[in-house]
Structure 1
Amino acid sequence: MTIKNYPWWKDSTVYQIWPASYKDSNGDGIGDIQGIISTLDYLEDLGISVVWLSPHYDSPQDDMGYDISDYESVYHKYGNMDDMNQLIDEVHKRDMKLILDLVINHTSDQHAWFKESKSSLTNPKRDWYIWRKPQYDSKGNRKPPTNWSSIFSGSAWNYDPTTDEYYLCLFAKSQPDLNWENEECRNAIYKSALEFWFKKGIDGFRIDVASMYSKASNSKGKFEDAPIIYPNQEFQPAGELTTNGPRIHEFHKEMFKKITSKYDVMTVGEVGFCSKQEALKYVSHAEKEMNMMFLFNVVCVGYDGDKFDFKGFNLKNFKDAVISQSDFAQGTDAWSTVFIENHDQARSVSRFGNTSTDELWNKSAKLLNMLEISLTGTLYIYQGQEIGMTNLPKNWSIDEYKDIETLNYWAKHKIEHPNDSESDLKLMQNIQITARDHARSPVQWDDSPNGGFTSGKPWMKVNENFTKINVKSQINDSNSILSFYKKSIQLRQLYKKLFIHGDFKILDYENEDLFSFIKSFEDSKSYIVLNFSNKTIPFKPLVDGELELLHTNVDTPEPGVLSPYEGRIYI
């Protein structure tokens, strides 16, 4: 492998900001752009080179900004366009980059395009969204065009009485899917959602649901019913009918050719799951579509399709997920991503570490960081991850949760299982493990009221452990998770050939306690051993030759054993 003349984004460390919960500057209880600007020195000191800002656009906020009503405006509670221009300038002053979220599978139903589209059957923008006529059963009851289920539960179709047709909404009913089959619509998307911001100087996009723009239909444009997976449910996951569709690569190539290739920018697509062959179509350099993508094998380990039907997992499952998420890029011209948290996933230390004691919380958060900094690809860190923020308290009721995905699922469950306390308890236990709200609670900056996030009433309750887990308590503590992250990022950059670009080989796949692997680049090698158990394990290196200890999460490593959640990185 050679790394000559590679682009800047390969070596980058990206920090994702979820604006509503990051930092509030004006006391209204909602994070904002000025709050972000006030922390840029903190991010620079941490070693961040790219800031990824989750949706900041004008929006009714039904789905926390993923329902966009105007691509060219800023949500007023986050600030205004002057604030965004200042953010772009301040990021660049620190030699960092800024990327935005690109949400172009759907808009809000309050977007001017959709208002026109739904106004009549003959409106010029009617075909900018996906409309279909109703079906009727033998009794004359009106039914949706297909049995597809929404990702947020219920039907993926919503009836509009104005024109007696249904529109497709694979997410919330207020998020109608755009019709990418319409070239005029695609060009409007490119101009409003991409080019507008590139001209302002932003450095790229994270592309939301990047595998879903192309829906499969027959030669007459008819959508087929999805296979029956859940026999007791009316609506079924659309699966391959709406993912990795027949024209998806054509659309991405067009977007690259018309827009992104004209700028020195990065694109990372949220793809989710796909085969190695499909992955290479998306992110092989030769294909000219996207630079890299997010696959969800790691963050979704333990559940298959339904995140609230959590099955649990073992370390072999976790290793399989790491392999699947990175293997497609090894020995190819593709590039991968390294992440273990984002706005859609629960906190990693609660899911993959151990928060039962302060010591194990500290060690396991560092252990997960050691895994991440050793893996090949562009590294992504989610806000609060660097201080070991945890899932929400288990004594919180469903009333404290805000996310549309969780609340819709709970409401559907209550209808299907009335007065079933045992079933309620099981679902609540799964919500406590996997709900998106765990990542969306406000960032804990200090031990003052509301964790220093806001001087007002926060839009969402701050995790009660903010007095213990916060930036202020860690920033000058050499033993803190935050200090560990800072050192880890420095080491990753110092040994970038090995850790960012090196080949990856697992040594102990069958071991249910230890995760050991080799990173290699030309004649250089690193040996990483991570104890993912809460017990002391006998340890003998699985490699020959002299080992130099480069990084560890314990003060004094003991010869011959690994303590619970101890990790070591050797050169």
Structure 2
Amino acid sequence: MTKWWKDATVYQIYPRSFNDSNGDGIGDINGITEKLPYLKELGIDVIWLSPVYQSPNDDNGYDISDYEAIMDEFGTMNDYEQMLLEAKRLDLKIMMDLVVNHTSDEHQWFIESKKSKTNDKRAYYIWHDPKTNGEPPTQWAAAFGGSVWEYDETSEQYYLHLFSKKQPDLNWESDAMRQDVYRMMRNWLDKGVAGFRMDVINMISKDPTYPEGKKLKTGYTDGSPYYFNGPKVHAYLQEMRREALSGYDTITVGEMPNVSVDQAKLYTAEERKELDMVFHFDHVGLGDGELGKWTPKPWKLTDLKQIFSRWQEGLDEVGWNSLYWSNHDQPRALSRFGNDQETYRVKSGKMLATCLHMLKGTPYVFQGEEIGMTNVQFSSLDDYRDLESINAFHELTEKGLLTEEEMMEAIYKRGRDNARTPMQWSNQVNAGFTSGTPWIGVNPNYRTINVHDALAKKDSLFYYYQKLIKLRKTHEIIVEGRYHLLYQDREDIYVYKRVLNDQTLIVLTNFTDQTVTVDLPYQLMMSDCLITNEDEAIEKSDAGYQLKPYGAYVFLLN
């Protein structure tokens, strides 16, 4: 099969917040279809859709009650198929979100599984007897607060849920369950989807002995060593490749918290026939404190460079990298890694885009990133919708670990709803997202940050992304060149080179609001400048080249 995804760019759509076509305040599939020409103009190749399956929405669609039906709020299967046809006409591919670590507790499999210990779907989920004193099998903490175990009085057993209690974990030890998952995947591929982004896919294999974890501040224990990258995960993914993906020319990316470079080599090495690439979390965890992202600390550029370099060098010639700053689970990239104040918002957005898109790997753009959308600060917890943030607020404040003010500050900086405010299409009411009442508030800065204005300004962030995406298509060195970090100890600049045959690409980015000097051993003045966010050629003094605040240049040396 071809590796067409190597020079492709992926655009992630969070459907609930993208575009509402019927005025109910919720983004939908027909709304996506309306905006496909916009995405074609941007130049992307693949659209990754966050879940559009039937769901009671305990976790915004990541709790699926029917893998082969479309969520009523999003439309119908006919709407979905029309979107696929229009995408195909525009030569855009669709990548589905595959959520098979868990289902909703309203999925028919779980409804059957709960009926009795002898039900033929019982083994589709993970059931466990209580301890002799009636307590759950372990004190593991769930990702959304509380215990991972929920007691079922009917059968007098606990079921495992690593996330919400309405998201019971599937039991991948069950042959029948795995075959049902593979059949479902083939059905979507037969419809014409191009592949899958696989939600927390390195959590599907658990240590069957369920050891107790280390004690946490919350009183629960850390079970993560026993469900991340488990004993059979590679066997399951190789089987998935054989049973569900072989025969199709797909793109696959696995979301993998707690994955190392060495583990990623196993997941992505071509000869192992598992996945094409993984999403690691190393850079988005920068600055995590004692309570993770809820106690954020300042991050250092040297740490970011070290992380990116470790992954660039580690997977070179072995696997393949996915490149991203943000997604539906992360704060806005500009607010996290750039400068979201109006003076430098567009320029630092271009700098961040340059830094990422010139790396080796497949870049991912999250909706709104291409127009410079930023974090939001709602005045009340009542304005937030994210289950993780709301549960963490109550758990951490009630246990006295954080004050309400500290918790709100953390949500402003790192909460998932930062990424989920509606797409800002225009300066009209509700940012042009809906004619109704939006399901979550619109960021008030939509009056100055929106697609309409971005398309009207030739020097906008949108057109800069468009150019970066085109460069990947026209310069093989951007796709295949080897990566080498320069100035690893500098806290102000990120400079690296890419090398392919007799060509060298030099990427210079300034992560500060100060002018800095770079003493490079290269003659850049006579080189081709492929792209820059500056209005003029780079300046050279006796001390070296001058990089203005948030400046970015890419030079091709032949």
Structure-1-length-normalised TM-score: 0.94
2:118 is equivalent to residue 122 of structure 1: yes
Residue 202 of structure 2 aligns to a residue in which SS? coil
2:354 is equivalent to residue 355 of structure 1: no
Offset, 1:493 = 1.7
Offset, 1:275 = 2.4
- What is the aligned partner in structure 2 of residue 406 from structure 1? 389
Q: Kindly provide the amino acid, as one letter, of the partner of residue 171 in structure 1.
A: F
Equivalent residue for 1:433, pick from 366, 389, 413: 413
- What is the aligned partner in structure 1 of residue 210 from structure 2? 223
Offset, 1:136 = 4.5
- What is the aligned partner in structure 2 of residue 178 from structure 1? 170
For residues 351-371 of structure 1, what are the alpha-carbon distances to aligned partners after superposition, in whole Å with 9 as ceiling and x for unaligned?
001122x23111100100101
Q: Kindly provide the amino acid, as one letter, of the partner of residue 61 in structure 1.
A: N
2:458 is equivalent to residue 478 of structure 1: yes
2:194 is equivalent to residue 203 of structure 1: yes
- Trace 1:550-561 onto structure 2 (pairs within 5 A): 550-560=530-540, 561=546
Whole-angstrom distance in 2 between the partners of 1:149 and 1:521: 47
Instruction: Check conservation: 1:210, 1:270, Cα contact below 8 A.
Output: yes
2:547 is equivalent to residue 565 of structure 1: no
Offset, 1:276 = 2.4
Whole-angstrom distance in 2 between the partners of 1:119 and 1:112: 11
- What is the aligned partner in structure 2 of residue 381 from structure 1? 365
- Trace 1:114-513 onto structure 2 (pairs within 5 A): 114-137=110-133, 142-192=134-184, 194-217=185-208, 222-228=209-215, 230=216, 232-303=217-288, 306-332=292-318, 334-356=319-341, 358-393=342-377, 396-417=379-400, 423-495=403-475, 497-513=476-492
Residue 143 of structure 1 aligns to a residue in which SS? coil
- What is the aligned partner in structure 2 of residue 540 from structure 1? 519
Q: Kindly provide the amino acid, as one letter, of the partner of residue 452 in structure 1.
A: G
Whole-angstrom distance in 1 between the partners of 2:339 and 2:276: 34
Offset, 1:6 = 4.7
Instruction: Check conservation: 1:297, 1:325, Cα contact below 8 A.
Output: no
Whole-angstrom distance in 2 between the partners of 1:500 and 1:387: 24
Offset, 1:335 = 1.2
Structure-2-length-normalised TM-score: 0.96
Offset, 1:177 = 0.2
Whole-angstrom distance in 1 between the partners of 2:305 and 2:437: 42
For residues 454-511 of structure 1, what are the alpha-carbon distances to aligned partners after superposition, in whole Å with 9 as ceiling and x for unaligned?
000000000000000000001021111111111121122221x211221111101100
- What is the aligned partner in structure 1 of residue 87 from structure 2? 91
Residue 201 of structure 2 aligns to a residue in which SS? coil
Give the stretch that moved more between structures: 310-319 or 295-304: 295-304
Instruction: Check conservation: 1:21, 1:442, Cα contact below 8 A.
Output: yes
Residue 480 of structure 2 aligns to a residue in which SS? coil
Offset, 1:540 = 3.0
Residue 364 of structure 1 aligns to a residue in which SS? helix
Whole-angstrom distance in 2 between the partners of 1:129 and 1:415: 32
Instruction: Check conservation: 1:14, 1:49, Cα contact below 8 A.
Output: yes
For residues 326-373 of structure 1, what are the alpha-carbon distances to aligned partners after superposition, in whole Å with 9 as ceiling and x for unaligned?
3321132x11111111111000000001122x2311110010010111
For residues 192-239 of structure 1, what are the alpha-carbon distances to aligned partners after superposition, in whole Å with 9 as ceiling and x for unaligned?
2x012111111100011110000012xxxx3111122x2x43212211
Offset, 1:427 = 2.1
Offset, 1:429 = 1.4
Equivalent residue for 1:54, pick from 43, 50, 54: 50
- What is the aligned partner in structure 2 of residue 514 from structure 1? 493
2:508 is equivalent to residue 529 of structure 1: yes
Q: Kindly provide the amino acid, as one letter, of the partner of residue 253 in structure 1.
A: Q
Q: Kindly provide the amino acid, as one letter, of the partner of residue 201 in structure 2.
A: A
Whole-angstrom distance in 2 between the partners of 1:551 and 1:11: 18
Aligned residues: 549
Equivalent residue for 2:62, pick from 63, 66, 80: 66
Offset, 1:292 = 1.0
Whole-angstrom distance in 1 between the partners of 2:182 and 2:298: 41
Instruction: Check conservation: 2:228, 2:258, Cα contact below 8 A.
Output: no
Offset, 1:34 = 0.3
Offset, 1:544 = 5.2
Instruction: Check conservation: 2:397, 2:403, Cα contact below 8 A.
Output: no
Whole-angstrom distance in 1 between the partners of 2:195 and 2:472: 23
Instruction: Check conservation: 1:156, 1:171, Cα contact below 8 A.
Output: yes
Give the stretch that moved more between structures: 16-25 or 254-263: 254-263
Whole-angstrom distance in 2 between the partners of 1:172 and 1:342: 20
- What is the aligned partner in structure 1 of residue 543 from structure 2? none
Residue 483 of structure 2 aligns to a residue in which SS? strand
Instruction: Check conservation: 2:172, 2:204, Cα contact below 8 A.
Output: yes
Whole-angstrom distance in 2 between the partners of 1:312 and 1:539: 24
Equivalent residue for 1:105, pick from 81, 96, 101: 101
For residues 301-324 of structure 1, what are the alpha-carbon distances to aligned partners after superposition, in whole Å with 9 as ceiling and x for unaligned?
221672212122111011122123
Whole-angstrom distance in 1 between the partners of 2:381 and 2:284: 23
Residue 456 of structure 2 aligns to a residue in which SS? coil
Residue 308 of structure 1 aligns to a residue in which SS? coil
In structure 2, relative to structure 1, the CA distance for the partners of 1:345 and 1:250 (3 Å cut) is: same
Whole-angstrom distance in 2 between the partners of 1:553 and 1:359: 14
Instruction: Check conservation: 1:148, 1:235, Cα contact below 8 A.
Output: yes
Residue 381 of structure 1 aligns to a residue in which SS? strand
Residue 187 of structure 1 aligns to a residue in which SS? helix
Q: Kindly provide the amino acid, as one letter, of the partner of residue 382 in structure 1.
A: F
Q: Kindly provide the amino acid, as one letter, of the partner of residue 337 in structure 1.
A: S
Give the stretch that moved more between structures: 477-486 or 461-470: 477-486
Whole-angstrom distance in 1 between the partners of 2:421 and 2:122: 39
Q: Kindly provide the amino acid, as one letter, of the partner of residue 210 in structure 2.
A: F
Whole-angstrom distance in 2 between the partners of 1:513 and 1:467: 32
Unaligned regions of 5+ residues in structure 2, if any? 541-545
Whole-angstrom distance in 2 between the partners of 1:349 and 1:412: 29
Instruction: Check conservation: 1:298, 1:325, Cα contact below 8 A.
Output: no
Residue 539 of structure 2 aligns to a residue in which SS? coil
Q: Kindly provide the amino acid, as one letter, of the partner of residue 137 in structure 2.
A: P
Residue 221 of structure 2 aligns to a residue in which SS? coil
Q: Kindly provide the amino acid, as one letter, of the partner of residue 223 in structure 1.
A: Y
In structure 2, relative to structure 1, the CA distance for the partners of 1:551 and 1:283 (3 Å cut) is: same
Whole-angstrom distance in 2 between the partners of 1:82 and 1:475: 31
Whole-angstrom distance in 1 between the partners of 2:328 and 2:343: 26
Q: Kindly provide the amino acid, as one letter, of the partner of residue 490 in structure 2.
A: N
